[in-house]
Structure 1
Amino acid sequence: MARRSRELTPDRSARHLFGSEVRRHRELAGMSLERLAEVVRYSRSHLSRIEVAEHMPPPDLAGRLDAAFGTDGHFERLYALARHEVHPDQYRRRMQLEAQARIIREYSGCFVPGLVQTEDYARAIFRSGGRKLTVSRIEELVAARMGRQALLRADSPPDLSIIIDEAVLRRPIGETDAWRGQLAELAAIVDTPTCIVQVLPFEHGEHGLLGGSLSLLTMDDGTTVAYEESITTGQLLEDPEIVGTCQRTYDLITAYALPPSDTAALIYTAMEELPS
């Protein structure tokens, strides 16, 4: 039985329009995804995800599509719109990509990243901020955050690399026991087969991610997207040039961060300094 094509929504965004136009011109030309993949030299799975707007088109694909379909710059013009467009549902899309990622790299300057937060730590974070959340809403948010962590317990979990600023260790969050529990959780995953945690020390000084956080998510086909977050906003970045700049910034921070052994020592020192 032939696989049913997923319904397209070209009115949602320029990215969705790009994908629907790929399918429309492909079907007009009587081409299967496999045949188009051979012509433009991209994998079938990659093209399939572009058609349904799950992936941002790579920069050179538009020209290859115009050449394949004889569309005289049509896809180049669509790509020019799509590459600068904000995804219509950034946070949900980020969560979807995180669940699919094979490599996750995180930097956080203010708090422990959500993927490795304990329940008590997450609860304290949600109670802060002046948002006047009800107890039930806070518990919903905590449950959702804990649910994200299931991917780390999967049979084939992603490789996770985390860099936190030293400030994260120096600012206790929640009650003392909750904070001690979070530090212990960090210490336990500093250097495992699938996780590395490093601290960027104060002595390094200024760097390119001061005041925010960054997530880099790499899919099984090698595609990488970035998600930048400040206090009140987050932005999903998929343009290859911009993502490349984010990766370079992360690489520089990695070079100046403490190795896992020194990171563990610093975490244990922070735990020892807590009141008994």
Structure 2
Amino acid sequence: MKMEPEEKSKDDIIESKGPLLESAIKDGVLTKAGEGFLKSNNIEIKNIKDIDEKESFDKPYLKELNGKKYIYVKKEKKGIETKKLFEENLENIIANIDFKKKMRWGDKDFAFVRPIRNIVALFGNEIIKTKIAGIETNNKITGHRLLSPEFVEINNPKDYEEYFKKIENKINSGLNVKKCVVATGGSVVFGKEAMEHFKKIGTVVYLKVSLDSLEKRLGDLDKRGVVHKPGETLMDIFNGRVPLYEKYADIIIDETHLEISQVARKIEAAIFYK
């Protein structure tokens, strides 16, 4: 997820309504209701005569509502640094991401769609220091744990996209497989070495679909994990990738109005009966 949050949350003014004046003060003395309200707001007063209709912070005052007077207090709540908010809440945010199925692993009482092995958490160029499922956050990112296990530091979230493309290109350009289908992610087309390698070892098939169909299939780009720049729309991605798909394709199959089985037969015919 990419975002440009504020440095801190906004300052806020919180006004709390207390009991009726006649319930809070009797015979010139605070009642239990009055004492309880002030205590719950961490306010002490030496003289109840200090309670008047002049509004101020951290001091009780009177306010009329529907013809009756109530005791109120007003406090200023200072904003909290956004980085600190993330450090305190990031584990809950991730735990509450909605997936149809979640799993637990080891002895951890933390559920996620897959076991978590590493967590990169950055606010600008600073690490959001916390733990998620017992794993410390950091600024080190890695590719496939078998094919590209080395860790590389990134100093800004914006560096992630370029790093991802480099790792994707490296892994795909090193694949050496026979008699199998390699179904890549759509961003692999940005890797020149990977695409040239695929053309050498096999047949590159581009399954052509309309922009409307892609919108229905993909939904939210961030939730789907589509590599894109901040503010980039699906149309931008479509227009940027289609020329590359067509450039590297040995065979182009138009999927419009076709069932999966029909697409499979067209691919078979194009490869084996051309």
TM-score w.r.t. length of structure 2:
0.25
Q: Which has the higher helix share?
A: 1
TM-score w.r.t. length of structure 1:
0.25
Q: Which has the higher contact order (CA 8 A, sep 6+)?
A: 1
Larger radius of gyration: 2
